[in-house]
Amino acid sequence: MSISVDQIKALRAKTGLGIHDVKQALEHAEGDETKAVAWLKEKGISTVAKKADRATGQGLIETYIHGGRIAAMVEVNCETDFVARNDDFKKFVKEIAMQVASMNPENVDELLKQDYFRDPSTTIEQLLNDTIAKIGENMKISRFARFELGYE
């Protein structure tokens, strides 16, 4: 089956992955975008496992304040300062700060198991793994703090 340039562009825009990976997924799925996305997710999980042992010495600290009453501060690490400046990484870190503010997890392990507040069909761990697969570097949610006005 011949894969069109439009199919590749559409899937690439949807996933943010490279042309080679997108084309390979579409070929594997015989042009079916849904199957291609599933294949890419499966492949992404193996990519995440390969990167898990890499050191994460760079990253960002991000804050989110909701209505002046709830605040969250998170530290998310990555392998390089180049990725720490990447817009996708910055967006991910901001989303994690918002997750902490809205869902009040006790610790990082509980946070990873929580449903993502924007899409309850996805967990934070899945969101992290998808971001690792998209960016291509190991990432780690290291720590966070949450403050709520009037609580000790």
Buried b (16+ CB within 10 A) or exposed e, 117-145: eeeeeebbbbbbbbbbbbbebbbbbeebe
Domain 58-148 in this protein, CATH class: alpha beta
Average pLDDT, the chain: 87
Give per-residue pLDDT as tens, 84-109. Answer: 999 999 999 999 999 999 999 999 99
Enter the pTM of the model.
0.71
pLDDT in tens, 105-148: 999 999 999 999 999 999 999 999 889 888 888 899 999 999 99
Angle (CA) 88-129-91 rounded to 5° is 20
- The tens digit of pLDDT for each residue in 19-78 reads 777 788 888 888 888 888 787 777 765 565 666 677 778 999 999 999 999 999 999 999
**Domain 5-51 classification at class level:** mainly alpha
- Give domain limits for the chain: 5-51, 58-148
